[in-house]
């Protein structure tokens, strides 16, 4: 089995069905935790919340690094992780919503200063990471999930932000759903059984599928589902094919939906003759990682595709 230790570890868990008690799993997990690239991420995350977030697709921001390590299986109890979790849990608004440090320009309705706030295009990612890292049966988690669910509307999740940001709103009609916020909300709530089958998630998922159907006519908040959307890219940061399929495939009720299967077919068609998948677009902040180049097949992207296909097959 090739690839970096985190790919080997997740392959054994997610595709081969091995357990944490398996000796081969233990070896690859130990190698992952000892890897210098993982040490570097954990060292950076110890300074949470880090620099202010100025744009939500800033791939090098700590927010996205937090999601990345949680997806690899880094969790509470691992060396250095409890300190990170403790810092993340400190930054919450009065209503219990996870905050990030952000800086919104006055031309968009912000103050132009660094502020601890929440936006619906960041707070679900923090909640998602905490759940994935093992913080599940907690009043803090329940409160944060409840708040995100409460923001849903009859067409998914809108652009919503903390009151401290005043009139700030993304570039779209107020009545439109924000596709990115909707995907992130679904991603977080799918991790909690009590919310996965909720009406809010059902509506949100159908909204994204309708946007796929209407992709030639609609691009709410400037989120299109065209050529760039379809490019394979890692890690899962923005509104793109791999990210959308990773989220929607977690809802069993959708796995036979023809709209979802159309997207799956687009993804599958990108394989090479050996069934491997190569990045078609890259984040410069991750250029040193094996998925941060477009010349050779990516171990991580190939794994992500096969995990999605495995879920889809479990109808």
Report yes or no: 32 and 6 within 8 Å, Cβ to Cβ: yes
Q: What is the mean pLDDT of the segment spanning 100-105?
A: 89
Domain residue extents for the chain: 1-34
122-154: per-residue pLDDT in tens?
999 999 999 999 998 789 999 999 999 999 999
What is the per-residue pLDDT for 281? 98
Q: Are 46 and 87 in contact (CB under 8 A)?
A: yes
pLDDT at 189: 97
Label residue 72 by pLDDT band (50, 70, 90). Answer: very high
Lowest mean pLDDT, pick from 110-119, 194-203, 220-229? 110-119
User: How far apart (Å, rounded) are the C-alpha atoms in residues 235 and 283?
Assistant: 8
For residue 163, the model assigns a pLDDT of 85
Q: Which residue has the tokens 């998914």?
A: 156
Average pLDDT estimate for 30-52: 98
Q: How far apart are CA 32 and CA 269, in angstroms?
A: 31
pLDDT tens digits for range 263-280: 999 999 999 999 999 999
What pLDDT score was predicted for residue 164?
Answer: 84
| Exposed/middle/buried for residue 288 (C-beta within 10 Å: 0-12, 13-18, 19+) | exposed
Q: Looking at the whole model, is its pTM more than 0.85?
A: yes
- What is the token pair recorded at 149? 């669910």
* Whether pLDDT at 178 is above 90: yes
As a whole number of angstroms, the distance between CA 187 and CA 199 comes to: 15
How high is the mean pLDDT of the chain? 95
User: 95: pLDDT confidence band, cut at 50, 70 and 90?
Assistant: confident
Per DSSP, 229 falls in state: T
């Amino acid at each position: 089995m090739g690839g970096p230790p985190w790919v080997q570890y997740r392959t054994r868990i997610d595709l081969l069905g091995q357990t944490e008690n398996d000796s081969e799993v233990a070896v690859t997990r130990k190698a992952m935790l000892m890897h210098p690239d993982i040490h570097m991420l954990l060292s950076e995350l110890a300074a949470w919340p880090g620099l202010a977030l100025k744009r939500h697709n800033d791939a090098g921001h700590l927010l996205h690094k937090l999601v990345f390590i949680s997806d690899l299986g880094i969790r509470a109890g691992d060396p250095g992780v409890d300190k990170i979790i403790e810092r993340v849990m400190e930054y919450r608004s009065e209503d219990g919503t996870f905050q990030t440090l952000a800086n919104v320009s006055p031309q968009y309705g912000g103050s132009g200063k660094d502020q601890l706030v929440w936006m619906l295009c960041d707070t679900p990612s923090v909640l998602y990471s905490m759940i994935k890292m093992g913080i599940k049966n907690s009043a803090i988690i329940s409160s944060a999930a409840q708040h995100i669910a409460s923001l849903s509307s009859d067409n998914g999740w809108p652009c919503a932000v903390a009151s401290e940001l005043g009139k700030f709103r993304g570039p779209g009609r107020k009545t439109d759903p924000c596709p990115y916020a909707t995907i992130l909300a679904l991603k977080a709530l799918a991790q909690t059984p009590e919310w996965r089958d909720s009406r809010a998630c059902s509506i949100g998922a159908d909204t994204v599928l309708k946007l796929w159907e209407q992709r030639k006519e609609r691009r709410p908040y400037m989120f299109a589902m065209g050529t760039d959307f379809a490019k394979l890219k890692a890690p899962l940061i923005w509104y793109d094919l791999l990210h959308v399929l990773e989220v929607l495939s977690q809802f069993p009720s959708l796995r036979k939906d023809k709209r979802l299967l159309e997207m799956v077919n687009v993804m599958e068609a990108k394989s090479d003759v050996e069934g491997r998948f190569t990045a078609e677009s890259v984040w410069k902040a991750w250029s040193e990682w094996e998925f941060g180049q477009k010349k050779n097949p990516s171990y991580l992207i190939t794994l992500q595709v096969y995990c999605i296909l495995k879920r889809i097959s479990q109808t």
